[in-house]
Amino acid sequence: MTFALKNQSVDAIVAVLRAEAGELDFDPQGARLFVAVLRALSQGKPLSSEAVAALANGLGIPAEKAQELDWVAEKNEQGGIVGLAGLSLNDWNHTFWVNDRRFTTWCALDTLYLTPLLGQTTQVETRDPVTKEPIRLTIDPEGVRSHTPGSATLSIIIPQVRIKGLQSAEQIWSAFCSYSHFFTSEQTARAWFAGKEIEPLFLTIEEGFELGRKWFESIGRYA
């Protein structure tokens, strides 16, 4: 199915992703709280349950709404949020700078869709999984400002899950993020996927930004 999509528009790929993987689909209160928690996390410190409740209270949102974020949250031993929908204080593969604060992201696509939600210019530093060569991006809320090398490529897959829609952070990591990387070129991307029983999609960095923006546009209107 995925190779059949390789020459399709970003809109067509987004439609399949929504059908197979779901999306960050909260009601208006949940969406406002999600964006508030994400931006608070971008200050660089874990968020306790009390801190999240205070954010909800400040927005006039019931504190129990915070429970709706749990399925995309990464937590520490104390139950505090240290990662949310890809933005993480823990160590993952892609270094992500927001206002000179260092974070990482669960997968390559996260860097592209998170930037508009954060409303900040961001920088990405990562390496090709095959050649180990550095890849760098500068992104702002409107699009990709620059990336080196110019041939850099993004990989994604259409997650194959038994129950439609990704259900937890752990499932997002295993079913999607394990296969979303930046490569120096489509050639090295194909080399990495060779022999794997996975059918990837390869996108330009600019296409990746557009895909992320459209896939998560229901949340983006609250950013």
Q: Give dist(CA 44, CA 82) in Å, integer.
A: 9
Q: pLDDT, tens digit, for every residue of 88-121?
A: 999 999 999 999 999 999 999 999 999 999 999 9
Q: pLDDT, tens digit, for every residue of 13-62?
A: 888 888 777 677 788 999 999 999 999 999 999 999 999 999 999 999 99
Contact between residue 90 and residue 83 where contact means Cβ atoms under 8 Å apart: yes
Return the closest-CA partner of residue 105 out of 50, 41, 158, 14. 41
Q: Residue 65 gets which letter from DSSP?
A: G
Average pLDDT, the chain: 89
What's the pLDDT score for residue 144?
Answer: 97
State yes or no: pLDDT of 4 exceeds 90: no
Contact between residue 20 and residue 156 where contact means Cβ atoms under 8 Å apart: no
CATH number of the domain enclosing 137: 3.30.450.410
Q: Which residues pair with 14 in a beta bridge?
A: none
Neighbours of 21 (CB within 10 A): 21
Q: pLDDT, tens digit, for every residue of 140-194?
A: 999 999 999 999 999 998 876 544 444 456 767 767 889 999 999 999 999 999 9
What burial letters (b/e) apply to 107-129, b meaning 16+ CB within 10 Å?
Answer: bbbbbbbbbbbbebebbbebbbb
Contact between residue 100 and residue 127 where contact means Cβ atoms under 8 Å apart: no
Q: Residue 47 gets which letter from DSSP?
A: B
Q: Which residues pair with 47 in a beta bridge?
A: 81
What's the pLDDT score for residue 18?
Answer: 81
What's the pLDDT score for residue 198?
Answer: 85
The answer for residues whose C-beta is within 8 angstroms of residue 4's C-beta and 6 or more apart is none
Q: Containing domain of residue 17, as a range?
A: 3-220
Average pLDDT over residues 203-210: 96
Contact between residue 6 and residue 202 where contact means Cβ atoms under 8 Å apart: yes
**Helices and strands: H and E segment counts in the chain:** 8, 11
Tally of structural domains, the chain = 1
Contact between residue 215 and residue 18 where contact means Cβ atoms under 8 Å apart: yes
